[in-house]
Amino acid sequence: MIRYKNTHKILSLFFCTLIYIFIPAYVRAEEDHSMNEVSLSSSESKQADKDETNLQIEKRSQEAVSLDEGIAADQIIVKINEEGYVTSHGDHFHSYSGHVPTDSIFMEQLLVSDNYTLKEDDKVSKIDGGWIVKVDNEFRVFLNNPEQASNIRSSENLMLQSYGVNPSDAQAMIALKHDLQSSEDARFIASVEQSYSSITTQQDREFIIVYITAKEFLAYNGENFYLFLEKIPETGIFSDHLLVPQEYSLNKKDIQQSINGGAIVKINEQNLIYLSDPSHKENIRQLKKQ
């Protein structure tokens, strides 16, 4: 196993390692390096190449590793070869030998192309809802019904989990791309060096907070989604879909922090916005939500 210290720079290196090392060249997506998003210098790229060769084969199962490490992150398979497979696990990787377990989770870039037709000779091993296949000397994932599959994770999901976002929160954040009717080109960006306050003062667009956890929050500026690893500023701007239900009565035990005109409260595992005076919504914005 290779494990990195939990620093912003190494997390950026981790995500770029996935894109530039583990994913075949023909499915790599170019990344915009502005706003201190995800950057990789030539020297860091060389280090990433070196780190791949330093992975040691795990003697434990995926379940045992996850239990021992005590983190909620999914183990997501990002590479399959003759000897075994490699998983991403939060901010680090694991390497395993042998066949891929049937109940594994896969990065979406491992899926076969849309025009692929399953052939008996291509089959390598059975997995939930499909097969591991070998096509043009590459090990890929074929699913009988990929649109309904629960064992596929997007590169956006991997990026969010690499910054410590809980898998269920990562899925919910990504669902907002559809729910808020954002563009297909909308991206998820980890703002690792600029705070919410500094970005909002530099840009004309409002950064509207659309998702809140105990450790991070997600903001949408009408173009892209930005992950911030910090406490929410009291002057934050929030989407109206985060408002507590009208019938809610404030319980002091629910309060997580104060904001202008109210508080962030936790209700049924959700972090929502409570306004002391619901008629004053200066820090609330209405977003279209399906």
pLDDT tens column, 60-103:
989 999 999 999 999 999 999 999 999 999 999 999 999 999 99
CB-count exposure of residue 63 (10 Å: 0-12, 13-18, 19+): exposed
Residue-level pLDDT at 281: 95
Sorting pLDDT into bands at 50, 70 and 90, what band is 204? confident
Amino acid at the residue 186: A
Residue-level pLDDT at 263: 97
Q: Is 256 helix (H, G, I), strand (E, B) or coil?
A: strand
Sorting pLDDT into bands at 50, 70 and 90, what band is 118? very high
Mean pLDDT of the region 94-115 = 95
The set of residues, in sequence order, having a beta carbon less than 8 Å from that of 121 and lying 6+ positions away, is none
Q: Of residues 38 and 99, which shows the higher confidence score? A: 99
Mean pLDDT of the region 204-213 = 95
Residue-level pLDDT at 53: 55
Residue-level pLDDT at 243: 97
User: Cα torsion for 64, 66, 69, 73, to the nearest 10°?
Assistant: 180
Residue-level pLDDT at 192: 86
Q: Of residues 137 and 50, which shows the higher confidence score? A: 137
Q: What is the pTM for the complete model shown?
A: 0.81
Stretch among 11-20, 104-113, 137-146, 255-264 having the lowest mean pLDDT? 11-20
Q: Is 67 helix (H, G, I), strand (E, B) or coil?
A: helix
- Mean pLDDT, the chain, integer: 84
pLDDT tens column, 242-273:
999 999 999 999 999 999 999 999 999 999 99
Distances (CA, A) of 246 to 15, 242, 262, 279: 41, 12, 14, 12
Q: Is the pLDDT of residue 215 over 70?
A: yes
d(CA 135, CA 113): 10
